[in-house]
Structure 1
């Protein structure tokens, strides 16, 4: 597989790609939906809710946190995770122009 030439794309295009890649797994979608349904939680709660192994959940949490869609804080021996609402809004604003493109308004050329 070739190396991605991210320097050929705008900062916005690269940011959109990183965020959509992070949410491009059904377990991560389930984690996000769960975090939106509650105020915050610890990793063990997510494991029980999603039904995957703790190391697997931790890896998915790491991916979501690395792009800033969630944030975590240490509370004793646990980490409490929640949605980063600022970055969630940023992602929605970045994706809206793309998701609002409408092929029906274009000429049919193919």
Structure 2
């Protein structure tokens, strides 16, 4: 799938981000655990994911995940509107997170994904 991005994004609460940093791994948010995989979004899907699933929440963070580092644990599956979303069928290791930080928006209100620095 050479046309798919190598980086996807996980939206985390401040507590979840702190746990990922402290534990070195993230087993998933309650919805992830219930569904059996960790939900990620591409850069193009990120705004809609935050607006739909995290509306009204403050202190959110976003982690940029290197999908290649996760190998076969990543599956691209249809979700919202039939679009393909990356799902991780394993805990998310901090070692696969290439950048993270609080959610920031640009002047047009779009989320600026974190970039590896």
Normalised TM-score (structure 1): 0.29
Name whichever structure is richer in helix by fraction: 1
Structure label with greater radius of gyration: 1
TM norm structure 2: 0.28
- Structure showing greater relative contact order (alpha-carbon pairs closer than 8 Å, 6 or more residues apart): 2
- Structure number with the higher strand fraction is 2
